[in-house]
Structure 1
Amino acid sequence: MITTCGFTLADWQAEAVHAWENNYPAGPYRGTLEIVTGGGKTLIALVCAARAALRDPDLRLAVVVPTEALARQWQVALARYTNLTQPEIGLLGAGGDDDFSKCRAVVSVLNTAAKRLPALARTAQPLMLVVDECHRAGAPTFAKVLETPAEYRLGLSATPDREEFDDTGQPLRYDEQLVGRDLGPVVYRFTLRDARLAGWLPDYDIHHHGIQLSPEEQRQYDQISRQVDDLGDELRSLGLEIGRAQQLQKRRDEVGLLARRYIAATSRRKDLLYRAAHRARVVIRILTQTLESGQARRVLLFHERVSEAVALHKELAMSMPGISIALEHSRLGDRTRVEALESFRTGEAQVLVSVKSLVEGIDVPEADVGISVASTSSVRQRIQALGRVLRRRFDESAQRKHADMHLIYVAKTVDEQIYAKEDWADLTGAGANRYWLWSADPAALPQSMPGPPASPRPTEEQEWDRLQRRRPDAPIAWRGSMIGQEYSVDTLGTVTNSAGTIISNPQDVAALVARVRGRPGGRFRVTPIHRLVLVWGDSAEGLVPYVTGQLAEPFEAEVGRHEDGSHAESVDSALLKPGTVLVEAPNKTGGSFRLRQKQGGVIERRSPDGTVEFARVDDDAPAALVANARRVLDNWRQLFDRGITFFLSEEGQAWYVEGGKRFHLAHVPGGFSWPS
């Protein structure tokens, strides 16, 4: 039976174990723990395994980790803190090919585990599956690992949430996402802010360094930014959110091409910022000042790209010949990487240059100085990087640790956006943060700044408090960010999400949008917590967001059971009257069209090359198709005094959507005649 030894959990860590062991809403012995980096997730997981073993003494343990270095770290922890012997602790991937025939515990790297662990686990029951940094397992490449049969399931991450949408385009909560469904919902949280308030962290200071672009870099940055803005405007003009570009790029149409161009342009801009020449200069100045203090500091440097990390290591070695500087990244051999980490742990190397592979999971408590040379705008990654350095020492006889974290960003660029995403003073403590601005002059000292380059707008909860936690009776200016999922409502009151899926319960949102815009239809957002409706509207200061109301219940996307053409209408559309409600959803295989009032009424479509065409109603066109067009126009005039969008099914039914319901417009077999 697996047992633990050599450590005692803190009270809050024991609470996390209890929450996992007694997670009755989702079932006991399953769930995800959201624990701050440095919070002892490994030890908590080992106690969870020991509790499961009390119930099933023959328990086997499968631990899945994202990197080889983390796999080796888990092997060490299992040998040190459990009763398992070295031969009982196997390795799958990272050069290992062990299974459960001889091993009680197998640590596996995620890419190998996704391919082999589900099959190996079938004969290794009862089994506990632990997925460390479990947000990684949600990627399509790795999701197969979640199919591993195991009665006991535990997810670990400081930031488990991923941005995922369902098939209808609706955003998913963590417990609805693939990882949350298969491992269990978050049953316990201990965030960076919680750790600070609980006194769990060491003493620390965080320094934020804004650097400049060179004139040539600035010229290139401005040029690429114009391309990014133009492509983003094109996506938005199609009713699409640029935040969904990663998903949209998979489409094999013009939208997919546009999304791929947008992503490529943003990647070029990122690469330009990562390579900013002044980054290395400022790193050298920070390192020099740090190491001149006379203290035995251990400095951990993070970069985003292997090539930039290699170049930085080379430049540091040339500029600081008396300092031992190690290099670690994923393209090095296993032995080289192990030696680099070990030299840093022992102090043989005072500085370690790494790529973000070290950001997640690796325990390097010896590091008391961190320098994030370049990072994405990901809040998750910054929290992970901070956690690498803000790890407390548990040796009470040692001197209390004081950590320094240096975060380098390019001023007056998109690098500053991360400061608008999160209140870092609230997370880390206002007094711990220092802000600096470096000039392009190599000899100049940095200028102390009064605060961050950008500040987050009020959160949804703060705005809800300002509204006195009540639905507004009239539009009120919204001071927070435009958060939440974006939707559109047309002039007929039909609501669709950003994937184009119809919302089956639109409620009174059409009226809410109209009272801000002054006319029917338009885009809006719904906040994730309180379902507040946000709409852009005119004001004396220009276009500003308003909160105009609140949904009584969450939107529900209609499942398009028959829109793929796999099911024919159950009622003969030739027998229906215009405006008849349709119980079954017709397909759209015949196309999408617009009815407009110009020239007394026209049927309009957009051709593949982007030009607009009008259905023919002249005597030279085929008589049956002209009759179809005139029938649609006549029925439309009976029903509406404004333009609408309608669809044509494979069986020849013209239909439209109003207020979330589908209605019959006309029976038009064969469709319409178009200019040749």
Structure 2
Amino acid sequence: MTVTLRFEDGAVVVSSDGDDLNPTSLPGVERDARTGSHRAPARRYRAVRDALRDRGADVDDRVAPDARLELSLRYDLREYQEAALAAWRGNDERGVVELPTGSGKTVLALAAMAELGVPTLVVVPTVDLLEQWRRELESEFGVPVGQFGGGEQRAAALTVATYDSAYLRAEDVGGDFGLIVFDEVHHLGGEGYRDVARLFAAPARLGLTATFERPDGAHETVADLVGPVVFERDVDALSGEHLAEYDVRRIEVRLSESEREEYEREQGTFVEYVRDAGITFSSGSDYQELVYRSGNDPRAREALLAKQRAREVMMNADAKVTELERILERHRDERVIVFTAHTDLVYRLSERFLLPAITGETGAAERREILGKFRDGEYTRVVSANVLDEGVDVPDASVGVVISGTGSERQFTQRLGRLLRPGSDGEKRAVLYELVTSETAEERVADRRR
């Protein structure tokens, strides 16, 4: 009896030329009532294949790509990169590697590609990363690189894709790769991205991230789709030798009299409502309850709006602008990234200090031009609203200023990581300033992210 495996529309179809096999006894395989065929989600391909081999079945595997690639790696791996690669291979070439920004996660993935020598898809969250990966693959391996996303739809043995484009192409090309690399793999926890991993059959899976755990617990789903964390090192373990030394300096500023009056008024409206409504925020669902009530209760809606207005006052305090001026003067000869949470503040700072601005409204060509000039040293400062938090290679920035942000540890780690690539002379020391408005809720936000 021969069992045939083939890829079809995001699934692995199982068929045999005899009656000795009950396909539904294989991992994830179910009978499709519409067609009468037996199929499993593409991500279960390896489990189905291995189960058949364990049973001694003769397998006609039409899923696995036949191509073998001769890829040569020029990089010499650092000790921790070698250990990470060995841990991943020891876990049947599945799993997540958690390393700080600037520590060489891309090099690790290149080493995995070279060792396996199979067609590979690299999936990334942004067009900027798409282009960075394509350039790196072309430079390192000297082969044509395919691209799904950024205005192109071109397949090759080595291909890069955005998460969105990978999902759209999965039913066509989901069986074409033996290895899939998920850069910034924590994005797979998002409800809209999980099918990217489910619809591809690639048996070898490597996730890369600086911050694996998600506050919503969705990293457990990522571990199921890609594999568990097989290796991790934090910033402190690598700073000094492989990353720049760094300092984090928290500077507290005070609201002006008029800002304090507005903050207390708006915050008071919010606090009064949640107290009367018995909402304690002891669980994550309490905030959702408030949002739900705001659809029908005018007081709940006004409370949410008041909270937002209070947040904007404390995060965009005039004293922060004054303090930023001092920092820019102190570090006039260094490259500085200013991080904010609000687009309006980006443009305000850009106009006040003549800083190139990058927001979600900045076009791709303009963003590339600004970052190119920043890398080349033509620009020494840039201000951004969240866009530079991850997925952007800014090798020589040494000073960061967090004007405003969330309580997310991930965001804080990623912003710090923008600064930690070591300098050419090995003497670089980075500094990240946090500007925090005292006697406001922002103090608690800053404490959470630290």
Is this a same-fold pair by TM over 0.5? Answer: yes
Residue identity matched to 1:192? V
Larger radius of gyration: 1
CA distance in 2, matches of 1:155, 1:255: 43
Secondary structure, in 3 states, of the residue corresponding to 1:358? Answer: coil
CA distance in 1, matches of 2:222, 2:261: 43
CA contact (8 A) 1:248 1:256 kept: no
Q: How does 1:611-626 map to 2 (within 5 A)?
A: none
Q: Which residue of the partner structure matches residue 51 of structure 1?
A: 115
CA contact (8 A) 1:180 1:186 kept: yes
Q: How does 1:568-587 map to 2 (within 5 A)?
A: none
Match of 1:69 among 114, 124, 128: 128
Secondary structure, in 3 states, of the residue corresponding to 1:241? Answer: coil
Q: Which residue of the partner structure matches residue 102 of structure 2?
A: 38
Residue identity matched to 2:284? G
CA distance in 2, matches of 1:144, 1:256: 37
| Structure 1 alignment gaps of length 5 or more | 54-58, 165-171, 318-324, 425-676
Q: Which residue of the partner structure matches residue 110 of structure 1?
A: 163
| Cα offset, 1:243, TM superposition | 2.5
| Cα offset, 1:70, TM superposition | 1.8
Secondary structure, in 3 states, of the residue corresponding to 2:361? Answer: coil
| Cα offset, 1:190, TM superposition | 0.9
Superposed CA deviations along residues 287-314 of structure 1, whole A, max 9, x for unmatched, are 01211xxxx4111221212222122111
CA distance in 2, matches of 1:358, 1:16: 27
| Cα offset, 1:386, TM superposition | 0.8
Q: 1:239 to 1:402 in 2, by over 3 A?
A: closer
Q: Which residue of the partner structure matches residue 194 of structure 2?
A: 143
Q: 1:62 to 1:245 in 2, by over 3 A?
A: farther
Task: Confirm or deny that 1:316 pairs with 2:360.
Answer: no
Q: Which residue of the partner structure matches residue 308 of structure 2?
A: 267
CA distance in 1, matches of 2:279, 2:328: 48
Q: 1:248 to 1:17 in 2, by over 3 A?
A: farther
CA contact (8 A) 1:245 1:263 kept: no
Secondary structure, in 3 states, of the residue corresponding to 2:331? Answer: helix
| Cα offset, 1:284, TM superposition | 1.4
Q: Which residue of the partner structure matches residue 213 of structure 2?
A: 161
CA distance in 2, matches of 1:283, 1:390: 21
CA distance in 2, matches of 1:401, 1:253: 50
Q: Which residue of the partner structure matches residue 119 of structure 1?
A: 171
Superposed CA deviations along residues 91-129 of structure 1, whole A, max 9, x for unmatched, are 22222222x2xx122222233333x142233341x3322
CA contact (8 A) 2:281 2:287 kept: no
Residue identity matched to 2:115? R
| Cα offset, 1:242, TM superposition | 4.4
CA distance in 2, matches of 1:127, 1:270: 48
| Cα offset, 1:11, TM superposition | 0.6
Residue identity matched to 2:160? V
CA contact (8 A) 2:113 2:120 kept: yes
Task: Confirm or deny that 1:8 pairs with 2:76.
Answer: yes
Q: May I ask how many residue pairs the two structures share in their alignment?
A: 381
CA contact (8 A) 1:16 1:188 kept: yes
Q: Which residue of the partner structure matches residue 457 of structure 1?
A: none
CA contact (8 A) 1:329 1:354 kept: yes
Q: Which residue of the partner structure matches residue 344 of structure 2?
A: 307
Secondary structure, in 3 states, of the residue corresponding to 1:49? Answer: helix
| Structure 2 alignment gaps of length 5 or more | 1-68
Q: Which residue of the partner structure matches residue 258 of structure 2?
A: 216
CA distance in 2, matches of 1:35, 1:334: 28
Secondary structure, in 3 states, of the residue corresponding to 1:5? Answer: coil
Residue identity matched to 1:227? T
Residue identity matched to 2:223? G
CA contact (8 A) 2:293 2:300 kept: no
Q: 1:173 to 1:106 in 2, by over 3 A?
A: closer
Match of 1:401 among 415, 420, 428: 428
| Cα offset, 1:358, TM superposition | 1.0
Q: 1:4 to 1:258 in 2, by over 3 A?
A: farther
Determine what percentage of the aligned residue pairs are the same residue: 28
Q: 1:201 to 1:418 in 2, by over 3 A?
A: farther
CA distance in 2, matches of 1:187, 1:387: 21
Residue identity matched to 2:352? E
Q: How does 1:107-256 map to 2 (within 5 A)?
A: 107-114=160-167, 116-124=168-176, 126-149=177-200, 150-164=202-216, 172=217, 174=219, 177-196=220-239, 199-233=241-275, 237=278, 241-245=282-286, 248=289
CA distance in 2, matches of 1:71, 1:260: 40
CA distance in 1, matches of 2:184, 2:232: 14
| Cα offset, 1:419, TM superposition | 4.8
| Cα offset, 1:366, TM superposition | 1.0
User: Which deviates the most, 374-383 or 202-211?
Assistant: 202-211
Secondary structure, in 3 states, of the residue corresponding to 1:273? Answer: helix
CA distance in 1, matches of 2:114, 2:124: 19
- Larger RCO of the pair (alpha carbons < 8 Å, separation 6+): 2
TM-score (norm 2): 0.77
Residue identity matched to 1:147? R
Superposed CA deviations along residues 593-634 of structure 1, whole A, max 9, x for unmatched, are xxxxxxxxxxxxxxxxxxxxxxxxxxxxxxxxxxxxxxxxxx
Q: 1:181 to 1:270 in 2, by over 3 A?
A: farther
Q: Which residue of the partner structure matches residue 387 of structure 2?
A: 357
Q: Which residue of the partner structure matches residue 283 of structure 1?
A: 324
Q: Which residue of the partner structure matches residue 146 of structure 2?
A: 90
Superposed CA deviations along residues 388-412 of structure 1, whole A, max 9, x for unmatched, are 112213x4xx352122222211111
Secondary structure, in 3 states, of the residue corresponding to 1:32? Answer: strand
TM-score (norm 1): 0.52
Q: Which residue of the partner structure matches residue 25 of structure 2?
A: none
